[in-house]
Amino acid sequence: MSADALRPANLEEPRAVSARERDALIRELLDVVPSHGVLHDDEDLRPYECDGLSAYRRKPMLVVLPETIEQVQQVLRLCQAHQVPVVARGAGTGLSGGAFPLANGVLLGLAKFNRILAIDPDNRSARVQPGVRNLAISEAAAAHGLYYAPDPSSQIACSIGGNVAENAGGVHCLKYGLTVHNILELKVVTIDGELITLGGQSLDSPGYDLLALMTGSEGMLGVIVEITVKLLPRPERAQVLLAAFDSVERAGEAVAAIIGSGIIPAGLEMMDNNAIRAAEDFVHAGYPVEAEAILLCELDGTNAEVSEDIMKVRNLLIAQGATEVRTAGDDQERLRFWAGRKAAFPAVGRLSPDYYCMDGTIPRKNLGQILRRIGEMSGEFGLRVANVFHAGDGNLHPLILYDADTPGQLERAEDFGGRILELCVEYGGTVTGEHGVGIEKLNQMCTQFTPDELTQFHAVKAAFDPRGLLNPGKAVPTLHRCAEFGAMHVHHGQLPHPDIPRF
């Protein structure tokens, strides 16, 4: 294995599928899926070449777009019979290449599963198909005064099926949890084509918590075809504070102080100066562009509760050295404060031809330190970084700016990103908080897990998919790959901070 083989773009495929095999499969697929649901012309395949991690592209062998659960079952049975791998795809907004297609595989698009099947206001739940957009659930539930809590910044586009497969988070996850905390039941088709139900309509279910295991499994254990989500009552009042700081470290300390004070904000987000300027330029949210960092802190609940907490937080922020604290006076201003944060990725995208979004999580107390280290590395690698992140959960999203047309820059961005993730592991965190491993963080999984742990992951995968046909090669690296990666790492003498304890 060469260094190039370890690059995400060069994901290995299980086997080559001949043109004859492919044509035979197409004929059989056309018996079970309407002809407009089987795409095999170059032109039709192009939109499926990549997901949100668009630096990497590969044309899938075939795209299949089933319309019913029975069709999904039959497609999987055919793929199993032909030993052809299957990659599920929701809206393709994933940022780790989870839905990156295989040139010798079927890309199974779930876009046609776009119906909200039922809303049950008394039980505060909604039964939806996997291709439904995240935001569409809250829009449909609004008539009942309810909403679906996890709100990834991509919520206007990403699918709920993709959210489950990635255990997506959002700005309100600090108080309301991730996808895994907000779903009740999944209907899943196994690689054998069998339809199973995990979880249930009540708060728990008998046996092992396979609902949790399926959540965040990146399309490697089964295809999700129906989801029952929990809905929450809209809080009586939500109010957001914006605090400006003249140093990133101080903002980081303020985050710890708020959490330590016993208040759990609905959201607690941070942006650094590069991100502030980019967002302000883009959506004119009224952000203080001179600040080194801003915090957005949203409090919600009953009117009385919010009034009590907002005073406490305000005083805390001032005591922590905020140079300015603003309270959104009305809902419009609140939404404007958030608009800058929610548009931060595209806003940063305007600063540079390309950007690469990382997703490590660390214990909150290390925020200041790690941001300083990232700043130093930015100089070493010669690439700019903007930091936007879920500060309340310690989930970082450094955006590395680069230009793919300048030879070598993508590779430099990859290496820089890899170093940031390894730093997260050293500080007691993880290489991915919510975007998943996909094809992107396979190497860094070798840093976070021991060979025994990786072997255990492979055994669990085999319990669901013994032939390794569901999204093969993603999420969990082979031991062989890790050995190569380890050898190369030591060779370059790159392992920084050998003095920091690792676990």
Partner 1 sequence: MHDADLSQALAEQVRAAAESGTPLLIRGGGTKDFYGLRGEGEPLSMVGHRGIVSYEPTELVITARAGTPLAEVEQCLRDHGQQLPFEPPAFGAGATIGGAVASGLSGPRRAFAGAVRDNLLGVKLINGRGQILSFGGQVMKNVAGYDLSRINAGALGTLGVLLEVSLKVLPRPAFERTAVFEMDEATALARLTALGRTSLSITATAHDGERLYVRVCGGERSLEAAEQVLDGQTLPESRDFWHSVREHSHPFFDRPGPLWRLSLPPAAPSLGLGETFIEWGGAQRWLRSDAPAEVLRDRAAALGGHATLFRGHGDTGEVFHPLTPALLRLHRNLKQAMDPAGIFNRHRMYSDF
Residues that bind ligand FAD (CB under 6 A): 51-52, 87-95, 98-99, 110, 130, 152-154, 158-159, 161-163, 165-166, 168-170, 218-219, 223-224, 237, 239, 303, 307, 310-311, 314, 326-327, 329-330, 345, 434-435, 471
Pick 202 or 332: Cβ nearer partner 1: 202
Q: Which lies closer to partner 1 via its Cβ, residue 301 or residue 486?
A: 301
Of 105-113, 164-172, 313-321, 330-338, the segment contacting partner 1 by CB under 8 A is: 164-172
Label the pairing between strands 62-64 and 106-109: parallel
Q: What's 235's DSSP letter?
A: P
Could you tell me where the beta strands, DSSP code E, fall in 309-423? 324-327, 354-357, 385-389, 398-402
- Minimum Å gap between C-beta 175 and partner 1 is 10
Among 433, 439, 471, 485, interactor with partner 1 by CB under 8 A: 433
Among 66, 235, 267, 398, binds partner 1 (CB under 8 A): 235
Helices 331-342 + 273-283 axis angle, to 10: 120
Of 284, 266, 255, 493, give the one whose Cα is nearest residue 394. 255
Least separation in angstroms between CB 113 and ligand FAD: 8
- At its nearest, how many Å lie between partner 1 and the CB of residue 42? 34
**Position among 441, 471, 473, 474 found at the interface with partner 1 (CB under 8 A):** 441
Tokens, residue 394: 């310690």
Residue 87 binding partner per list ligand FAD, partner 1, none, with a CB distance cut-off of 5 to 8 Å that depends on partner kind? ligand FAD
Stretch that binds partner 1, among 244-252, 337-345, 435-443, 485-493 (CB under 8 A): 435-443
Half-sphere exposure of 57 (CA within 13 A, CB side): 8
Measured CA to CA, the distance from residue 379 to residue 376 in angstroms comes to 5
What three-state secondary structure class fits 27?
helix
Of partner 1, ligand FAD, none, which one sits near residue 499, judging by CB under 5 to 8 A according to partner kind?
Answer: none
23 binds partner 1 per the rule CB under 8 A: no
Q: Which is nearer to partner 1, 62 or 95 (CB)?
A: 95
Q: CA angle at residue 114 from 112 to 120, to 5 degrees?
A: 150
CA distance 357 to 468: 29
Q: Considering the complex, what minimum distance in angstroms separates the CB of residue 207 from ligand FAD?
A: 21
Please tell me whether residue 238 adopts helix, strand or coil conformation: strand
167 binds partner 1, rule: CB under 8 A: yes
Residue 128 and residue 258: Cα distance in Å, rounded?
36
Could you tell me how many residues of this chain bind partner 1 (CB under 8 A)?
99
Which of 34, 47, 233, 496 is in the footprint of partner 1 by CB under 8 A? Answer: 233
Min CB(120)–partner 1 separation in Å: 8
3-state SS record for 289-315: CCCCEEEEEEEEECHHHHHHHHHHHHH
Q: Which two tokens stand for residue 278?
A: 């980019």
> Which is closer to partner 1, CB of 198 or CB of 410?
198
Packed helices 69-82 and 19-32: angle between N→C axes, nearest 10 degrees: 160
Least distance (Å) from ligand FAD to the CB of residue 475? 8
Whether the Cβ atoms of residue 416 and residue 400 lie closer than 8 Å to each other: yes
State both tokens at 101. Answer: 């297609």
Nearer to ligand FAD by Cβ, of 145 and 451: the residue is: 145
42 vs 122 by CB, closer to partner 1: 122
Interface region with partner 1, contact rule CB under 8 A, candidates 307-315, 343-351, 367-375, 408-416:
307-315
202 binds partner 1 (CB under 8 A): yes
Single-letter amino acid, residue 99 = A
Region of residue 177 (left: phi > 0; alpha: psi -120 to 50; beta: else): left
